Homo-oligomer: A and B are copies of this chain.
Amino acid sequence: MKKISEAVVRRLPVYLQVLSDLSKRDVQTVSSQELGNKLDLNPAQIRKDLAYFGEFGRKGIGYDVSYLIEKIRQILKLDQGLNVGLVGAGNLGRALCNYNTYLKDNMKITAVFDANPAMIGAAINSLVVMPMDQLKDIVAARNIRIGIITVPAVEAQNVADGFVEAGVEGILNFAPTILRVPEHVRIHYADFTTELLSLAYYLEKEGDETDEPLVD
C-alpha cells in the first residue's frame, strides 16, 4: 500500500467517526459531497484521501460505508486490539479514562498509574490506580503498546523514560513540554495550550497589531 501522509492519517479517525454515525443510521452509501459537507472538507480532497485505500466510489452511487469503515479500522490497527496505559491520575487523567466509552474497537485504557501514594488504590471507573514501580511489569503483562502522560511538565520526561524502558511503542503526551524518546518510539503531543495559542492566531479582530516592518 502507498505510504499515507501524516495529514491523511490524522483525518482517518474523523472519517471513521462520520462513517460510523452513518452506519448507525443504516446509511449504506455516501458521496464525497456529503462527506465534504459533514467534515468541512473539499470533496476533491476527500476523493484523494479515500483513493489511498483503493476505494474510488461509483458515480451516482458513492462510497460503500461499511467497506470504508472496515478498511480504516484495518489501517488504524483497530482490528488488532490495543491496550493503553496512563500515568497521572489527576483531573486530566480521570477525564481521559472516561473516554474509554468512545474508544470502542478494542482500544482501551487498561491501566492507570500515579506516583502519589495517596492516589494508589483509588478507583477510576473500573480501573484501580497503581504505583509507578509496577509500570514495567503491568505493561508487559497486559501487552500495553501505547502510553499516555498526564503528569506535570517537570515529571513528564521521567514518565516517558519509564514507558520506553517498559517497551511501549507510542506515547501521547499531554504535559506541556517536549520529550526525548528513542527513534523507534512514536510520540504525539496533545498539549492543550498549543491548540489554544494557535487558535488565537486565527482570530479575526485585530487589536493593537502594529505595521512595523519585521526587522530588528
Q: Which residues of A contact B (CB under 8 A)?
A: 1, 4, 9-10, 12-14, 16-18, 38-40, 53-55, 64, 67, 71, 74-82, 84, 90-92, 94-96, 98-99, 102-103, 107, 145-146, 148, 150, 153, 169-170, 172, 176-178, 184, 186, 188-210, 213-216
Contacts and interface: CB of A to CB of B under 8 A. Distances in A.
A190 B192 contact: yes
Nearest to A177: B17
B176 A99 contact: yes
Contact of A200 (B14, B71, B77, B195): B77
Given A74-B209, A80-B208, A198 B94 contact: no
Given A76-B201, A98-B91, A198-B188, A214 B1 contact: yes
B169 A205 contact: yes
A74 to B, nearest CB: 7
A172 B203 CA distance: 12
A77 B210 CA distance: 11
B199 A188 contact: yes
Secondary structure type dominating chain A contacts: mixed
Contact of A198 (B67, B76, B193, B215): B76
B91 A38 contact: no
A71 B215 CA distance: 10
A201 B75 contact: yes
A136 B142 CA distance: 48
